[in-house]
């Protein structure tokens, strides 16, 4: 560490922390009076526009305590302390514990995914990043890193929201089409902890996969090999048959590029929103894994456990490996970076999008240098680190074999040729009795039932839209608000709306929630406030109606009905 944190005493007798390095010494509060400094600072806060403040630095806690106790100009106060040697005093800690709208983290304990969840929660509210007075005079590079991380998190939230909009139809229609297969498939719960104490290899499709083929071939009789999605081609094209293949990608491109020409017939661990063509054409066993973002399957299959959403199939695969009980994991081809400008390993089928890669940022590499990556791959990296941080290191050890790939915190780099396979990987001795999945009539009927519900609710939404359109858009009375509330309550009584549609409209729903929580005063609403309320609810209802129309008019639904509806009508139960 090239700096130290020391203490000084202000003229008022208050203790002040100071940053000290070889060139400077910077007090982190006023040496005249931290309290007066706090009072002056509070007056600068925008009291006419409540905001979410992301505050960097606490100093001796005086400024932050005064903000918490003496102002309500913030919706939420999110505080990050860059220096772990700066200790929060007990009064400040108590204020944080008792305040529902204050969050405090030391940067050493900060995780991008937690921050992204925070940003998503406060969708549509004004957000401002503030640096504590004097902190910007300290270790400039350290503060720049923190600010860059915050801005990257905000950007990744935007990317995630765009992903949600892009896949919102697929995340309903693909699990609906999959019901005929998932209802007759094996559940991942059948394999929970079955591999405790065993070793496994998580093979991803990054550039280093190709250079580690010798290790994979030598290890395939000792460690269980998991091919994460597109890696199945990279392995099978080199004569390696994985023990398991995992996937949850919903798009047709996933099937067309990575699975259509694959001859893999072993166990497929399928996240429940997986593209239905993959399940339809897979000739081997299917092991179904419920995902929390899948609201369709949950209505039919009442699994108590489901896997939280993650941005990549490799992270999903690590979740699965933990669930199955593996104690030692080797990451192969998990570069999370562009190696010589390449995204995929040689031998892996590429999508058009993967050929047009752009480096957005650089991250630390396992070789001690820096390596180019993209915002998408960076989100994968953050997800890996978040998951690993929550894994008991005594139960699972994770090694990374990608010398030139991104460093993943919580893993240990190891040269594949240094691994004593027989001693360190053990043997494969667990046999599975798994049957190939077949389409079930029960699953088909459940899919048709959900389509019927969507058609009925589409008419309900149409009627609600007609009622809302009769309101005067320039003058909304209290009586009008009561009518709107009644219409909205009626819609929410439909489980298809509450459990499925609004889940895919989360950004709009969150904006409405934040509007009522932070922007409007129920006791003193103006005409403009009431107009805003009605406009937001109209937006949700209109968007929901258009969304359901797009679902029902989708070729997948039309073909599904044509294939099965006539047969059902001809043979009623």
Give per-residue pLDDT as tens, 386-395.
Answer: 999 989 888 9
- Of residues 45 and 31, more confidence is placed in 31
pLDDT at 493 over 70: yes
Q: If you search the block for the tokens 């929550």, which residue do you land on?
A: 390
CA–CA distance, 527 with 474 (Å, rounded to integer): 8
pLDDT digits (tens, 9 = 90+) for 208-256: 999 999 999 999 999 999 999 989 989 998 999 999 999 999 988 888 8
- Of residues 356 and 399, more confidence is placed in 399
**pLDDT computed for residue 529 by the predictor:** 77
- Of residues 58 and 2, more confidence is placed in 58
Average pLDDT, the chain: 88
CA–CA distance, 16 with 536 (Å, rounded to integer): 48
**pLDDT computed for residue 544 by the predictor:** 93
Total-model pTM: 0.84
Between helices 527-552 and 506-514, what is the axis angle to 10°?
170
CA–CA distance, 407 with 165 (Å, rounded to integer): 31
- The order of strands in the sheet holding 51-56 is 102-106, 74-81, 51-56, 127-131
Q: Which residues pair with 288 in a beta bridge?
A: 187, 270
Q: Give the residue-averaged pLDDT of 379-392.
A: 91
- Of residues 339 and 102, more confidence is placed in 102
Q: What percentage of the chain exceeds 70 in pLDDT? A: 93
Q: Which of 461, 471, 466 is nearest to 533 (CA)?
A: 471
Q: Give the residue-averaged pLDDT of 485-511.
A: 87
Q: Which of 483, 479, 477, 494 is nearest to 544 (CA)?
A: 494
Q: If you search the block for the tokens 């599904």, which residue do you land on?
A: 560
**pLDDT computed for residue 354 by the predictor:** 47
Confirm if 233 and 349 have CB atoms less than 8 A apart: yes
pLDDT digits (tens, 9 = 90+) for 527-568: 887 888 888 889 899 999 999 999 999 999 999 999 887 666
Q: How many helices (H) and strands (E) does the chain have?
A: 21, 18
Q: Give the residue-averaged pLDDT of 441-452.
A: 94
**pLDDT computed for residue 286 by the predictor:** 95
**pLDDT computed for residue 50 by the predictor:** 78
User: What H or E segment, with its residue span, contains residue 128?
Assistant: strand 127-131
* Cα→Cα distances 125→19, 35, 302, 509, 538, Å: 34, 30, 36, 13, 20
Q: Give the residue-averaged pLDDT of 345-374.
A: 72
Q: Which residues contact 548 (CB under 8 A, 6 or more apart)?
A: 454, 457, 458, 461, 501
pLDDT at 442 over 90: yes
> Tokens standing for 568?
């059902």
User: What H or E segment, with its residue span, contains residue 319?
Assistant: helix 313-324
pLDDT digits (tens, 9 = 90+) for 145-175: 898 889 888 888 888 888 888 899 999 999 9
* Cα→Cα distances 561→176, 294, 336, 447, 553, Å: 12, 21, 41, 9, 11
**pLDDT computed for residue 344 by the predictor:** 57
**pLDDT computed for residue 156 by the predictor:** 86
**pLDDT computed for residue 346 by the predictor:** 55
């Amino acid at each position: 560490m090239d700096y130290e944190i020391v203490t000084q005493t202000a003229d008022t007798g208050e203790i002040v922390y100071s940053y000290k390095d070889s060139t400077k010494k910077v007090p982190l509060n006023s040496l005249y009076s931290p309290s007066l400094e706090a009072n002056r600072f509070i007056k600068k806060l925008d009291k006419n526009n409540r905001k979410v403040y992301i505050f960097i630095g606490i100093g001796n806690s005086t400024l932050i305590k005064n903000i918490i106790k003496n102002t309500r100009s913030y919706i939420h106060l999110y505080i990050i302390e860059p220096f772990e040697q700066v200790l929060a005093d007990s009064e400040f800690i108590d204020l944080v514990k008792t305040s529902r709208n204050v969050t405090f983290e030391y940067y050493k304990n900060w995780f991008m995914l937690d921050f992204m969840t925070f940003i998503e929660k406060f969708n549509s509210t004004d957000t401002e990043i503030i640096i504590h007075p004097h902190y910007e005079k300290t270790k400039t590079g350290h503060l720049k890193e923190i600010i860059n991380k915050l801005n990257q998190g905000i950007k990744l939230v935007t990317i995630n929201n765009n992903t949600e909009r892009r896949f919102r139809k697929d995340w309903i229609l693909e699990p609906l089409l999959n019901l005929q297969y998932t209802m007759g498939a094996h559940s991942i719960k059948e394999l929970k902890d079955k591999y405790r104490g065993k070793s496994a290899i998580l093979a991803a499709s990054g550039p280093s996969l190709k250079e580690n083929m010798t290790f994979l071939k030598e290890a395939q009789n000792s460690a269980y090999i998991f091919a994460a999605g597109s890696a199945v081609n990279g392995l099978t094209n080199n004569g390696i048959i994985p023990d398991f293949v995992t996937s949850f990608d919903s798009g047709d491109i996933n099937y067309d590029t990575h699975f259509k020409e694959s001859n893999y017939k072993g166990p497929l661990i399928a996240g429940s929103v997986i593209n239905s063509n993959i399940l339809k054409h897979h000739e081997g066993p299917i092991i179904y894994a419920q995902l929390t973002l899948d609201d369709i399957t949950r209505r039919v299959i009442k699994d108590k456990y489901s896997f939280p959403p993650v941005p990549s199939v490799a992270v999903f695969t690590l979740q699965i490996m933990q669930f199955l009980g593996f104690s030692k994991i080797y990451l192969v081809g998990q570069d999370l970076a562009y190696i010589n400008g390449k995204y995929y390993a040689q031998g892996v089928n590429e999508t058009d999008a993967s050929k047009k890669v752009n480096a957005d940022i650089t991250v630390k590499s396992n070789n001690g240098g820096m390596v180019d990556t993209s915002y998408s791959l960076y989100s994968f990296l953050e997800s890996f680190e978040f998951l690993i941080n929550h894994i008991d290191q005594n139960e699972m050890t994770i090694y990374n074999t990608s010398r030139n790939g991104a460093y993943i915190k919580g893993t240990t780099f190891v040269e594949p040729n240094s691994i004593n396979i027989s001693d360190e990987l053990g043997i494969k001795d667990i046999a599975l009795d798994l049957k190939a999945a077949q389409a079930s009539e029960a699953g088909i009927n459940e899919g048709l039932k959900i389509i019927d519900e969507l058609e009925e609710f589409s008419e309900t939404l149409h009627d609600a839209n007609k009622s809302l359109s009769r309101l005067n858009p320039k003058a909304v009375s209290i009586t009008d608000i009561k009518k709107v509330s009644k219409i909205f309550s009626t819609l929410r009584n439909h489980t298809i709306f509450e459990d499925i549609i609004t889940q895919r409209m989360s950004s709009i729903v969150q904006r409405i929630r934040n509007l009522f929580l932070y922007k409007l005063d129920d006791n003193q609403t103006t005409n403009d406030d009431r107009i805003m309320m009605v406009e937001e609810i109209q937006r949700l209802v209109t968007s929901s109606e258009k969304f359901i129309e797009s679902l029902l008019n989708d070729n997948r639904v039309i073909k599904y009905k044509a294939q099965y509806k006539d047969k059902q009508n001809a043979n009623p139960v």
